[in-house]
Structure 1
Amino acid sequence: MNSEMLINKGVEVFIPASTMKCRTIVVVGVARGGTSIVSGALHALGLPMGEKCYPPVFEDLRLSLAFEGRSDEHFSEVIAKYNEANPSWGWKRPSTLKRLDFISARLRNPHFIFVFRDIFSVANRNSISMKSDINDGLQDALNSYRLMIDFLQKTESPVMLVSSDKIVRHKNEFVEKLIDFAGVEASGLQRKKALNFISPDPQEYLDKTRITKSRGDVNVDLLKTGLLRGWARGVHHVNPVVVDVEVNGKKIASTEASIYREDLDQPSVHPTGECGYEIDLKTLGVTPTDIINVRVQDDVNPLNSKPIQYQDLERWLTIKEWYNQKQT
């Protein structure tokens, strides 16, 4: 018995690709359901995925914003420009699954790739990355998959079905079927690039797509006085964030980063400048030889690049001592 034939490798061409060379490949699935694996693999294989398509999510912002009515350009205008520039191209955006009939009627020779993942994995990923409720996530994923299946049962367009959980374990079969379905002429180097891209836990994607991702700074020089001062904000939003202070591995204080500072009121930092924070660690009994970490609440990485400790200080400097030290 050839047991290889019994293995579920997570990819099936449900409706065969057309014989036309010009194709529009539409990657459809729920948010955090594995669509970035497929769109990233298509990008690696040389298929144009839009003018504003960037890793690690590989969603073209130009076409997506026009589709969602958040651009000065019309959806049909962008499609026409992409058709003129490329015989075949692709697009991925989770919001497409709610308007598949609309999209199907406007794209040139649409070929759909439906990406599936078990609903708990989807809900749990959204809980980890977006701090969303798992119960709500399970229901949202189920409703979204119903929309996909409803469209699948009536469409006559070519369709490929993909399990994002399976294809990471059966990369070669997936990439070869993807090349054939998309109609791309991939080189050996592009094939290798696509295979290397496919990963079960892509670190860049996990890091950049979480709502808890933050950035900021700790004034480690001023901290020699025992005064903790810096700034912090969320990468994906401008709402005030809470900063936690950890000393010797234990959280001892929290404060909201919402103090206005003129030096922070600039586009590269914060639109309002209201993201500063300040805590006097002396009043909390912290000493210079303690190990200090500062992080935005729920972030996995601290704002300081390495643990802060002043082993050469027997006590905190006074402001006057600190100032005089800076002048020497």
Structure 2
Amino acid sequence: MFRLKENKILSSVKNSKAGDVLRNLRDKYISAPKAETVSMTFYDTPNSRDQKLQTYIVAGAARGGTTAICSVVRDLGIFMGDNLGHNLEDSEFHQGPLKLPKVIENRNNRFDVWGWKRPDSPRILGKVIDDLRNPRLILVTRDPVAVGLSLTKRNDRTKEAALAASMASLQKNLEVMHDLKIPSLVISYEKAVLSSKVAVQEIASFLCLDVSESKIHTISKFIKPGRYRSAQAK
């Protein structure tokens, strides 16, 4: 008799508003997996974040996901260059180091906060660091094997040479970050693809921006493997 009443009570709860509440609580706190962080931050301080004038540099290995991450930075409102190509690289930043100070001076005069994307930026960063206002590095990492495979498809390299180049690039970028000790966000491209909303949230945080949940959701939909289309291109 007691078991019958218990079953009736459970049945009524399942079909009631209370049942909906219980299911929502279950989905929110039990069923839903916790979002995993996709990045690591180095050398960032409250003082470095509290600066009106800032410059962001998106870098990483060639074929390593820098365009996708740069697209997020741009969609979040940071000026990343004029007349950008499909890879979101500004041709003015492919000039020699001797010409870059003038380019940087021009951008500093136009914008309080701006940036550029060039995968091998760490190679020239030390030569222009004194021209930059509060530089902040976004270093994109990707599985070296994936980068190596991509390089073999697009360049005339052996697998061994492509893998070696991929690993050497990552090592060099980390060394530059360590030597310069500028605020840096090291972000995993693979994890960003799997947890795109978390990626946008963590990038926005590093950019010192307060972004709405709806905007984060919109931008996150455009982080797709092999796709460089940004939310601005809708």
TM-score range, shorter chain: 0.7 to 0.9
CA-atom RMSD in angstroms: 2.7
CA change 1:164–1:85 in 2 (3 A) is: same
Contact 1:15–1:160 under 8 Å retained in 2: no
Work out the CA distance in 1 between the residues paired with 2:206 and 2:122. Answer: 20
Q: In the alignment, which residue of structure 2 is the partner of 1:110?
A: 135
> For the pair shown, which has the larger CA radius of gyration, 1 or 2?
1
Which residue does 1:180 correspond to in 2?
205
* Paired residues for 1:1-328 under 5 Å: 8-16=36-44, 17-55=48-86, 57-62=87-92, 64-67=93-96, 74-184=99-209, 186=211, 190-202=215-227
Q: CA deviation at 1:36?
A: 0.7
Offset at 1:168? 0.7
Please list the CA deviations of residues 121-176 of structure 1 after superposition, one character each: whole Å capped at 9, or x if unmatched: 00101112334322111111121112112122233311111000111111111111
Task: Report if aligned partners of 1:30, 1:144 keep a CA contact under 8 Å in 2.
Answer: yes
* C-alpha displacement of 1:8: 4.7
Residue type at the aligned position of 1:66:
Q
Deviation (angstroms), 1:32? 0.3
Runs of 5+ consecutive residues of structure 2 not aligned to the other structure:
1-29
* Gapped regions of structure 1 (runs ≥ 5): 206-328
Task: Give the direction of change, closer, same or farther, for the CA distance of 1:168–1:19 in structure 2 (3 Å limit).
Answer: same
Greater strand content: 1
Identity %: 24
Structure 1 length as normaliser, TM-score?
Answer: 0.55
TM-score w.r.t. length of structure 2: 0.75
Which structure: greater helix fraction?
A: 2
User: Structure 1 residues 130 and 68, CA, compared in 2 at 3 Å: closer, same or farther?
Assistant: farther
- Displacement after TM superposition at 1:11 (Å): 1.1
Distance 2:183 2:193 in 1: 23
Q: Is the 8 A contact 2:90 2:117 kept in 1?
A: yes
Q: Is the 8 A contact 2:138 2:187 kept in 1?
A: yes
| Larger mean Cα displacement after TM superposition, 159-168 or 141-150 | 141-150
1:44, 1:153 → 2: CA distance?
28
Count of aligned positions = 198
Query: Does the Cα contact within 8 Å between 1:44 and 1:191 map onto a contact in 2?
Result: no
The 3 A distance-change label for structure 1 pair 37 and 120 is same
**In structure 1, C-alpha distance between the alignment counterparts of 2:228 and 2:53, rounded to whole Å:** 34
- Larger RCO: 1 or 2 (CA < 8 Å, sep 6+): 2
Task: Name the CA distance, whole Å, in 2 between partners of 1:154 and 1:204.
Answer: 34
Q: Secondary structure at the match of 1:12?
A: strand
Deviations 1:265-304 (A, max 9, x none): xxxxxxxxxxxxxxxxxxxxxxxxxxxxxxxxxxxxxxxx
| 1:98-127 residue CA offsets vs partner (Å, 9 max, x unmatched) | 223223332111000111111110010111
Partner SS, residue 99 of structure 1 = helix
SS at 1:28 equivalent: strand
Change (3 A) 1:178 1:129: same
SS in 1 for 2:68: helix
